[in-house]
């Protein structure tokens, strides 16, 4: 596809995505921290019952995002690192979850982020997180797919016609998973523990701040004790996996098939 045939909105997303490609690793946390600082936590729409429902929904969405990431990493994983701070890929990966959605890791990330935002109780924060993170992910993905389209040509075009950009298509999922000898848990633990720990710590911090801001500390000792236990569990998990890495226990027993996107 020649650049002149690309619609203006797509050209804008591609150029923005190339700029945000590495900056997103600092930009997205900065956006989230700024919103949490400037927007007070609350009960969702002022209702205790609705807020509890949103917290449960948030946890479910977080789990869905994490399961998607773990499934992606354990079966067919794209290592995201780029080359010379630019979008780069040596091979088009279409196996595993990539045969059901073109961006399972980004979808997983977005689900986790949205789930965490629901714990905070503020519809405004959830909306702004959705818009800001959604735009950054869309721009970066547009830049990545522009690179893949230019590098792999018709192979990538055929892939895009058969696989959705975001929404996972569950059709044939069992057959896809049966193509692999087994789940590569060593790779999953090695690659994903950091995200799991970060999610636990962020979720704990959000709930702790929300509880303190709304009710104070005096009448919520039991909840803060639970949050402290979750915090210590996350720290212990991180330390344990770090120990396993040093002992060489997490060396992958299957060769990765990956591109260097992201």
Which tens digit of pLDDT belongs to each residue from 116-129? 999 999 999 999 99
pLDDT at residue 258, rounded to an integer: 34
Count Cβ atoms below 10 Å from residue 212 Cβ, excluding itself: 13
| Mean pLDDT estimate for the chain | 88
Output phi, psi for 73, to 5 deg.
Answer: -70, -40
- Residue 109's pLDDT is 96
Residue 149 lies in a domain: yes
Q: Alpha-carbon dihedral of residues 94, 73, 81, 239, nearest 10 degrees?
A: 180
Mean pLDDT for 186-208 is 95
Residue 240 falls inside a structural domain: no
Domain membership of residue 225 (yes or no) is no
CA distance 44 to 121: 4
2-16, 31-45, 132-146, 149-163 — which is least confidently predicted?
2-16
In angstroms and rounded to an integer, the radius of gyration of the C-alpha atoms of the chain is: 20
Q: Is residue 200 part of a domain?
A: no
- Cβ–Cβ < 8 Å for 96, 75: yes
Is 249 within a domain? Answer: no
pLDDT of residue 78: 55
Alpha-carbon dihedral 3, 9, 12, 16, rounded to 10 degrees? -120
In a domain, 202, yes or no: no
Count of domains for the chain? 1
> What CATH number is given to the structural domain containing 75?
1.20.120
In a domain, 94, yes or no: yes
pLDDT band of residue 176 (cuts 50, 70, 90) is confident
Residues 3, 64 contacting (CB under 8 angstroms): no
Which residue range(s) make up the domain with 67? 3-184
Q: In what helix (H) or strand (E) does residue 162 lie, and over which residues does it extend?
A: helix 154-162
Q: How far is CA 92 from CA 27, 78, 81, 82, 153, in A?
A: 27, 9, 15, 14, 11
CA atoms within 13 A on the CB side of 57: 13
Cα 22 to the center of its chain, rounded Å: 15
Asked whether residue 210 is domain-assigned, the answer is no
Distances 128 to 54, 123, 131, 133, 161 between C-alpha atoms, Å: 17, 9, 5, 8, 31
């Amino acid at each position: 596809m020649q650049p002149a045939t690309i619609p203006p909105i797509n050209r804008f997303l591609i150029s923005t995505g190339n700029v945000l490609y590495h900056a997103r690793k600092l930009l997205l946390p900065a956006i989230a921290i700024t919103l949490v600082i400037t927007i007070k936590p609350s009960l969702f729409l002022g209702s205790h019952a609705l807020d509890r429902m949103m917290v449960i929904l948030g946890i479910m969405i977080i789990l869905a995002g994490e399961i998607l990431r773990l499934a992606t990493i354990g079966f067919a994983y794209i290592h995201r690192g780029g080359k010379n701070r630019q979008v780069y890929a040596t091979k088009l990966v279409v196996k595993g979850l990539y045969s059901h959605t073109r961006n399972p890791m980004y979808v997983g990330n977005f689900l986790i982020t949205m789930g965490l935002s629901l714990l905070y109780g503020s519809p405004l924060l959830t909306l702004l997180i959705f818009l800001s993170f959604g735009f950054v992910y869309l721009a970066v993905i547009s830049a990545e797919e522009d690179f893949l389209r230019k590098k792999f040509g018709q192979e990538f075009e055929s892939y895009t016609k058969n696989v959705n950009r975001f929404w996972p298509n569950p059709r044939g999922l069992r057959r896809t998973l049966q193509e692999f000898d087994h789940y590569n848990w060593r790779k999953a633990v090695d690659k994903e523990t950091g995200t799991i720990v970060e999610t636990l710590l962020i979720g704990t911090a959000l709930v702790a701040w929300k509880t303190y801001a709304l009710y104070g500390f005096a009448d919520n000792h039991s909840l803060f004790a639970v949050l402290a236990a979750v915090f210590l569990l996350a720290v212990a998990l991180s330390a344990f996996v770090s120990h396993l890495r040093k002992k060489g226990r997490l060396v992958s027993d299957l060769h990765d098939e990956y591109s260097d996107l992201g």
